[in-house]
Amino acid sequence: MSRPGAYDAIIIGSGPNGLAAAIALARAGRRVLVCEAEQTIGGGARSAELTLPGFTHDVCSAAHPLAAGSPFLRSLPLDQYGLEFIYPPVSLAHPFDDGTAALLERSVAATGETLGVDGMAYRRLMKPLVADWALLAPALLGPPRLPRHPLALARFGLKALRSARGLAASRFAGERARGFFAGLAAHSFLPLERLATAAFGLVLGITGHAVGWPVARGGSQSIANALAAYLRSLGGEIVTGRRVASIDDLPSARAILCDVTPRQLLRLAGHRLPPNYRRRLERYRYGPAAYKVDWALNEPVPWKAEGCSRAGIVHLGGTLAEISAAESAPWKGEQADKPFVLVAQPSLFDPTRAPAGKHTLWAYCHVPHGSTFDMTERIEKQIERFAPGFRDCVLARGVMPPAALERHNANLVGGDINGGAQDLRQLFARPTRRLYSTPARGLYLCSSSTPPGGGVHGMCGYFAARAVLQDGL
Ligand SMILES: Cc1cc2nc3c(=O)[nH]c(=O)nc-3n(C[C@H](O)[C@H](O)[C@H](O)COP(=O)(O)OP(=O)(O)OC[C@H]3O[C@@H](n4cnc5c(N)ncnc54)[C@H](O)[C@@H]3O)c2cc1C
């Protein structure tokens, strides 16, 4: 790292996007260095013993439809570098108070069968979109541009641009399908009445059928480790424990790619950026936060509804009305009484996560940006509602409110896990219309604050690297 001029490109941050950018550049013959602030690589794809020895928890990401469906990550030989995806038989369970659950299965028809009166309506909505996934994925997991398959994109776009509530209410007659779709769309972190929130529900639903929602054997850290090992095999270098305070502190390189959010870019490189671009970055909006809890369990969660124990992810919120209220609250600065809780139970499918017979559980809900309110009790109450006796299974818990998340990873500004709000405006101009490039030659953004946004898919990094290569650097 002390050899000036030794690198063509330096990447600040070793999240999935930073590593993807480094790999794309190394594959193009560039000499790359990744500088990571923390002692462990991986950003939002790290795992750690957050509760008791022998219990491995995913600190951030847990379910990986976007990694498994990512056109770039799929093109890499990550299985040769230790990555194995495990596919739970059911991607998602959505239990209701009557003790039953809607299930996202690989088959659209089987999923429809769990949706009561709306089985046929679900099939009509999803079947054509699932069939189009191979054409849609490159467009949806990339920057806005002229579509290669305009018909497929139009079929998707007409539905996707609607609000999740609007689409669910017009397509489905019963509470089961409406609640199920609301849970999928709630991954947007947006009020479900906002335009284009249907897109999140549709994409996650489609990936459930077309790709599956796998977990990574050994923990999400295995994704970062495989990316890093492959990068090193290409000659790339990674240093950890190296928090970059200013790009002026880096050795010279033709390109610097920042796997950080706009607020951090201003600190790192504000002095190199013109005032109007700086102002645009200052106006970039962050969204609500995650409040996360991990548990070490003595036994699996005693779900009431059949099917929940076969699912990698469980959505707790019941009806569209309840989930919609829970998702609007953080935007009003309020804590939901009954938060919408996203639960992951990887140890049911990956025995490496916990000692024999024991289990790990991961959950978070959405709270206002920077909130300091303790949501642990409300989260556990939601689990207990659908799994009476849950608390008796708990051996230990680890709690990460927004501030703890930000301490773990500086990109989680105020606890926002997506690198900024993902509303319509910031989906297309993310973080500005320049997307990956900046007005300073050789300086780029490659984080989830660029298209296509949050998630472990590496596509932001891949497209940032392409911008570097297109600029001839
Ligand atoms: C609680 C939680 C749950 C999630 N669940 C899922 C999920 O189930 N599935 C999914 O696909 N996604 C999930 N995500 C989102 C996913 O983790 C992120 O969208 C993804 O990691 C973004 O990748 P990135 O490379 O852009 O940034 P990050 O992964 O955030 O990486 C940024 C890296 O840059 C480093 N860095 C920052 N500043 C500096 C500096 N000055 N110098 C050096 N290094 C620096 C950080 O330490 C970090 O390692 C979740 C996130 C959280 C927090």
Rounded Cα distance between 100 and 102, Å, is 7
Neighbours of 195 (CB within 10 A): 15
Q: Phi and psi of 282, rounded to 5°? A: -65, -30
pLDDT value for 5: 63
Residue with tokens 């989906």: 427
Residue-level pLDDT, tens digit, the chain, 473 residues: 445 569 999 999 999 999 999 999 999 999 999 999 999 999 999 999 999 999 999 999 999 999 999 999 999 999 999 999 999 999 999 999 999 999 999 999 999 999 999 999 999 999 999 999 999 999 899 888 878 888 898 999 999 999 999 999 999 999 999 999 999 999 999 999 999 999 999 999 999 999 999 999 999 999 999 999 999 999 999 999 999 999 999 999 999 999 999 999 999 999 999 999 999 999 999 999 999 999 999 999 999 999 999 999 999 999 999 999 999 999 999 999 999 999 999 999 999 999 999 999 999 999 999 999 999 999 999 999 999 999 999 999 999 999 999 999 999 999 999 999 999 899 889 999 999 999 999 999 999 999 999 999 999 999 999 999 999 99
For residue 351, the CA-to-ligand 1 centroid distance in Å is 25
pLDDT value for 2: 45
pLDDT value for 448: 98
Pocket probe for ligand 1: among 1, 220, 456, the residue whose CB has the most ligand atoms within 8 Å is: 456
- Give yes or no for residue 20 CB within 6 A of ligand 1: no
- Give yes or no for residue 33 CB within 6 A of ligand 1: no
- Give yes or no for residue 362 CB within 6 A of ligand 1: no
- Give yes or no for residue 256 CB within 6 A of ligand 1: no
pLDDT value for 142: 87
**DSSP-derived secondary structure letter, 348:** G
- Give yes or no for residue 243 CB within 6 A of ligand 1: yes
Q: What's the predicted TM-score (pTM) here?
A: 0.97
- Give yes or no for residue 45 CB within 6 A of ligand 1: yes
CB 422 within 8 A of CB 429: no
Alpha-carbon 118 to chain mean position: 28
Pocket probe for ligand 1: among 409, 446, 462, the residue whose CB has the most ligand atoms within 8 Å is: 409
CB 45 within 8 A of CB 455: no
For residue 123, the CA-to-ligand 1 centroid distance in Å is 34
CB 92 within 8 A of CB 104: yes
For residue 112, the CA-to-ligand 1 centroid distance in Å is 34
Rounded Cα distance between 442 and 169, Å, is 48
Beta bridge partners of 292: 364, 400
For residue 301, the CA-to-ligand 1 centroid distance in Å is 28
Please state the atom number of ligand 1 nearest to the C-alpha of residue 449: 26
Neighbours of 472 (CB within 10 A): 6
- Give yes or no for residue 358 CB within 6 A of ligand 1: no
- Give yes or no for residue 59 CB within 6 A of ligand 1: no
- Give yes or no for residue 453 CB within 6 A of ligand 1: no
Beta bridge partners of 443: 256
Q: Which two tokens stand for residue 137?
A: 């994925």
pLDDT value for 43: 98
- Give yes or no for residue 156 CB within 6 A of ligand 1: no
